[in-house]
Amino acid sequence: MRFLRNRFSTLKPYHSDYLTEGTILNSNESPYEVPQALKDYMKENIDKLLVNRYPDTDSSKLIAAISKAYDVEAEQVTCGVGSDELIDCILASCLDEDDQVLIPYPSFSMYSEFTLLNNGMGIKVPLKSDFTYDIEAMKKVIEEKQPKVIFICNPNNPTGCIMPKEEIEAILKLSKGLVIVDEAYEDFASQPISVIPLINQYDNLIVLRTFSKAYALAGARVGYAIACKELIDLINTVKPPYNLNMFTQLAATWAIEHREIFKANAKKIISQRAYVEEGLKTLGFKTYPSESNFIWLEMEDDYFDALRERKIYIRKMAVENKNYYRITIGTPEENEILLTALKELKK
Ligand SMILES: Cc1ncc(COP(=O)(O)O)c(C=O)c1O
């Protein structure tokens, strides 16, 4: 591509099918629409919004609501256009040319992408063969190379494994660099595993959260970081002004203030996850234990296209040249559609 920096030669323009029909189980979104009460709230307030003015660049009301929900100080929170923007901002704020970034593999693809875009050097640490974290291998890399940044996706996308809190603490103690614990899917863990309560103890910890999953606001694009004030200042130093539009700020503030509604939906997903996992196992597919709103599994490649023909969309991902599949947990009806289709295809 003309003009593209040499360093970016492996990158391709990002594309993702915009699906609005069928059984959409490929992007780990919430299958539940936002509550009618939120839609009504947006309608009531839309006339009051001063759209001719810029939005509150500090997202003050939203940050106040988040800090209240997690019992942290407002200055320990910042918001981004999805947690994607915050991953980018963190790396932009601290990486010098070729600084090293520890990235477990497979994990969320944007860690490597933003590392590259910010001139860093990713060090991939493979998960074990059962797709759980290889904590010893991670510790060894930390001791030997002291990467500037370490990513821990907890629960991990796409495999659903988790890292216990004690191990995260061991890594925080071992590392001189920043440890980013991405809790995009924490609401779906069987037990609370958040390390937000540790932010006052470790000045190298940043926790990322998002409204795109359990909070059903993927379309609004909003995520947040919680950390000690010094690290929040670091992110805010490079964060673009006015990043969150006023509609998003309004919707997300309502959502966090009514979080019990979304937590109840997350519980439904957790119980459906067990149902879908059992169903997949009964059909003979190899699944991996998941603490998230999706299941990582092995299946023959033909199923992917056959499901697509029936407008059932799941995600295919290659790891070391072998294809694996990630299926998002849907509503009970959607999960039934999936399992019935697979049963028919098995015949
Ligand atoms: C682990 C993880 N972190 C972050 C994100 C990005 O979320 P957001 O929509 O907040 O940018 C995703 C999205 O799929 C994800 O899987």
Specify if 14 maps to a domain. yes
Assess contact for 32 and 345: CB atoms under 8 A: no
CA of 29 to the centre of ligand 1 (A): 10
- Are residues 87 and 15 part of one domain? no
CA–centroid distance, 83 to ligand 1, in Å, is 6
Fill in the amino acid letter for 70. Y
The answer to whether the CB of 152 falls within 8 A of the CB of 139 is no
Q: Given this model, what pLDDT does residue 137 score?
A: 98
Q: Whose CA is nearest to atom 10 of ligand 1?
A: 82
- Model pLDDT, residue 16: 87
Last residue of one domain, picked from the residues 258, 282, 311? 258
Residue 90 lies in a domain: yes
- Domain extent at residue 130: 52-258
CB-CB contact of 200 with 228 (8 Å) = yes
**Residue 170: burial class (beta carbons within 10 Å; 0-12, 13-18, 19+):** middle
Would you state the structure tokens that stand for residue 40, as one six-digit string? 């009504």
Quote the ligand 1 centre to 109 CA distance (angstroms). Answer: 9
Q: For the chain, list residues with pLDDT below 70.
A: none
**Contact predicate 329/293, CB 8 Å:** yes
Would you say the CB of residue 182 lies under 6 angstroms from ligand 1?
A: yes
227 and 324 both lie in a single domain: no
In angstroms, rounded to a whole number, what is the distance separating the alpha carbons of residues 248 and 211?
A: 10
Tokens found for residue 56: 């509150």
Question: Cβ of 48: how many Cβ atoms within 10 Å?
Answer: 7
Query: Is the beta carbon of 84 within 6 A of some atom in ligand 1?
Result: yes
Mutate to test the pocket of ligand 1, among 26, 108, 222 (most ligand atoms within 8 A of CB): 108
Same domain? 320 vs 243: no
**CB of 291 shorter than 6 A to ligand 1:** no
- pLDDT of 1 reads 85
Does 212 contact ligand 1 (Cβ within 6 A)? yes
Which residue minimizes the CA distance to atom 8 of ligand 1? 82
248 within a domain of the structure (yes/no) = yes
Three-state secondary structure call for residue 209: strand
Does this model's pTM top 0.75? My answer is yes
Can you give the CATH number for the domain in which 325 is found?
3.90.1150.10
Using CA atoms, how far apart are residues 312 and 289, in angstroms rounded to an integer?
22
259, 216 contact by CB (below 8 A): no
Note whether residue 44 is domain-resident: no
Please state, in angstroms and rounded to a whole number, the distance separating the CA atoms of residues 201 and 208: 17
Distance 343 CA to ligand 1 centre (A): 31
Residue 113, ligand 1, Cβ within 6 A: no
User: What CATH code is carried by the domain that includes residue 77?
Assistant: 3.40.640.10
227 CB under 6 A from ligand 1?
Answer: no
Pairing of strands 178-182, 121-126: unpaired
Confirm or reject: Cβ of 292 under 6 Å from ligand 1. no
* Pair 237, 76: CB distance under 8 Å: no
Domain count, the chain: 2
Q: How far is the CA of 106 from the centre of ligand 1 (A)?
A: 14
Residues 313 and 277 in one domain: yes
